[in-house]
Amino acid sequence: MDRDWGEPLDLDAVAGHAGYSRFHFVRAFKAAYGETPGQYLSRRRIERAEELLRTADLTVTEICGLVGFSSLGTFSARFKQRTGLTPTEYRARHVGRGAALIPGCFALLYAGGFPGRVQQGGGDPGEPDSAAPDFEERNSGEAR
């Protein structure tokens, strides 16, 4: 989960990789880390979004896709729940401190574009579609 936090993740696949059923995995993960896998993944994605909002000249929508959210509404709600600010408010409060913003084209190049999207000129048609909700968004009940 730490390596692929920006990609759509499937709870059953992650649990299977760990050798557990999804329900036992959620219980064991929460016992070990103090939060469910969905909460953990959401926190990691929001932390990365905070960094991008402070350092990259990307739109909130672009950052939403880069950090693994397929819904701007879900991203904004989770971001505000975690930080107390909307992504736009967060950027306005923190931008201008330190170095200049990295141009968006460089940030996207470094990040490899949007996860799950087929790049122009080819790509793997078997890649997951970034619009498909991952387990963190589908199982929002686990994340509360």
17-34: pLDDT as tens digits: 889 999 999 999 999 999
Strands, E, within the chain: which ranges? 56-57, 102-103
Tell me which of 21 and 142 has the higher pLDDT: 21
d(CA 93, CA 63): 17
The candidate with the shortest Cα–Cα distance to 3, out of 63, 57, 48, is: 48
Buried-state track 105-124, b at ≥16 Cβ within 10 A, e below 16: eebbeebeeebbeeeeeeee
Q: 3 pLDDT exceeds 80?
A: no
Domain 11-138: state its class.
mainly alpha
Residue 124, helix vs strand vs coil: coil
Name the pTM for this structure.
0.66
**Sequence ranges of the domains in the chain:** 11-138
Write the pLDDT tens digit of every residue in 81-140: 999 999 999 999 887 665 555 655 555 555 555 555 544 444 444 444 444 445 555 554
Section 53-62 average pLDDT: 90
Section 47-71 average pLDDT: 91
